[in-house]
Structure 1
Amino acid sequence: MLETLLAAIALVFILEGLMPFAFPHFWKKVMSEAVMQPENVLRIMGLISIAIGMILLLIFS
């Protein structure tokens, strides 16, 4: 169980690092636009991301 959790966390770090590594200019633009968004929009985006992750987890596990 612990190995699976650590592997999942490692994958998150890899995926999070792909955009700034491969497309730093685009990533900076997206992040600067994200900072300008109201908090409720960011919360909705976070909720959608959580829901997609949970659905994928249910499908593939």
Structure 2
Amino acid sequence: MGMLVLALGLVLIVEGLAYALAPSLVERLLEILRSLPLAARRQTGLLSMVLGLILVWCAYQIGF
């Protein structure tokens, strides 16, 4: 459970940094995402999930 809280905290830190340091970039990214078809957004989300899972697995394998 502690590892899950740690991971969530790290995600929130990275998300917060993006909004704090480059809010206009975030707005442009959201506009681009709105213009993509739903299937492309779904594929991007699934790809992100798989990449995250791979990173978590790698961190677990090296002992984090």
Please give the range of the TM-score, normalised by the shorter of the 2 chains: 0.7 to 0.9
Which residue in 1 is equivalent to 2:42?
A: 43
With the length of structure 2 as denominator, give the TM-score of the two structures.
0.83
Q: After TM superposition, which residue ranges in structure 1, 4 or more long, deviate above 4 angstroms?
A: none
Which residue in 2 is equivalent to 1:60?
A: 59
With the length of structure 1 as denominator, give the TM-score of the two structures.
0.87
Q: Show structure 2 runs of 5+ residues with no match.
A: none
Q: Tell me which amino acid in the other structure corresponds to 2:49.
A: I
Number of residue-to-residue matches in the alignment:
60
Q: Distance in 2 between matches of 1:28 and 1:10?
A: 23
Instruction: State the Cα RMSD in Å.
Output: 1.0
Which deviations, in whole Å up to 9, do the C-alpha atoms of 1:21-58 show, x marking residues without a partner?
A: 11111111111111121110001101110111111111
Q: Tell me which amino acid in the other structure corresponds to 2:10.
A: L
